Amino acid sequence: MTSEHVALGPADADAAWMGIRRHQALFALSGLALVGDGVMNRRPLVEVIVGLVAFSCAAPLGDGRTIGQWAGALSGFLARRHWYAFNVREFGDDVVLWSGGEVAVRGYRLAHHGRLDLSGRDVELAESLAALVDAASAARGPRHLSQHVHHHRAGANTLLTLPADLSPPEGWRLDAELTRDVLGARATSTSHYLERFSYVRTAEGPCRVFRVRDFSAVAPSRALLEQLLRARPVADLALHVDVVSGGRAPRVAARAAHKVDSDDASARSVGFRRSAQSARGIERMVQREVLVANGRALIRVAVFVVVRARSLEILHQRSVEVWRHAHDAGLRLEQGRGVQARWYAAQLPGGASW
């Protein structure tokens, strides 16, 4: 996966106005209002304290989360159950997965001709997958595709999962067994996993899921995931693509471009200059709108890095190494503390929990 057409940057979920994300503005304004009301009108001290706490929740921490996001993740983790399950069944060529929702997919194995087909050097493979995504956008409803690099003792396999009504490009062969291997399940089975704050425990051992949040620091000459694919220790990769239907995509792209442009105009009208980062964001939005208007697919992309081990000590060591390799490659990873069960379900083939 490369950024040939549009320079990829931070996730759209990080969109900020004058450098402040929406929830940060909400916490900061609420805190200032409570503190100001408490001081000016001599309210009880508890109102001032609540205001100060709300204001502090807007402060960012080292991993990109704010104190408020950390508090929300921790409270959600403490309040919910921690045992989860997903069910796998086979019907002919289809593998049906239930994990918060039900989805039927067909899994296709890539016939590898080189050391790493996903290193960005196989141009024909990349173009065929891009054409597949563009074709999927012509459907009335949304389509979900996923690609998985699954490591085992003998090497690595690449799996592509598609809805039953889509056909794979040349070079992919139907393989339900590999689909089950990536799922970690038998032909008909229910698999359980236990959520912990920073990992999940499966029948095969502890497992930790990272999510790639930012590609912007990857060198232009390198494929986005190349260094992670070559890293030691090895980690499984799950690339999920949610394709917006062709009728809806131009409206979504146009609204996003208009919103970013309007926010920039509002900020400049009150004296804020346009930064290089905001200028790049506007350029990306305009590029995306033009490409969608020309018939290219509008997609949501999520990349998960799955680290597995036989013990917690080895899992921690591997996680540290994978984190280091990712940052050396210019990829910003999220650790997913407090949401490991949700991310584990989200990285499974087919996107049933999306």
The answer to whether 203 and 192 have CB atoms below 8 angstroms apart is yes
The pTM score is: 0.83
Sequential pLDDT tens for the chain (354 residues): 444 545 565 566 555 555 567 777 777 888 888 888 777 877 778 888 888 888 788 888 766 678 888 888 888 899 989 999 999 988 888 889 998 888 999 999 988 755 444 445 567 787 888 888 888 888 777 789 999 998 877 778 899 999 988 889 888 999 988 988 888 866 568 889 999 999 999 988 999 999 998 877 777 666 778 778 777 778 899 999 988 887 788 888 787 776 776 666 666 666 666 666 667 777 777 888 888 888 888 888 899 999 999 999 999 999 999 998 888 888 888 888 999 999 999 999 988 888
Tokens representing 330? 């210019």
Place of tokens 């809805």: 163
Instruction: Give the bridge partners for 173, in sequence order.
Output: 109
Q: Which CATH class is domain 79-246+297-346?
A: alpha beta
Query: Residue 322 and residue 205: Cα distance in Å, rounded?
Result: 18
Residue 88 · residue 337 · CB < 8 Å: no
- SS3 of 258-280: HHHHHHHHHHHHCCCCCCHHHHH
The Cα 37–Cα 48 span in angstroms is: 8
Omega of the bond prior to 349 within 30 degrees of 0, cis?
A: no
Residue 96: what residue type? V
- Please give the Cα distance from 352 to 99 (Å, whole number): 6
**Domain extents for the chain?**
79-246+297-346
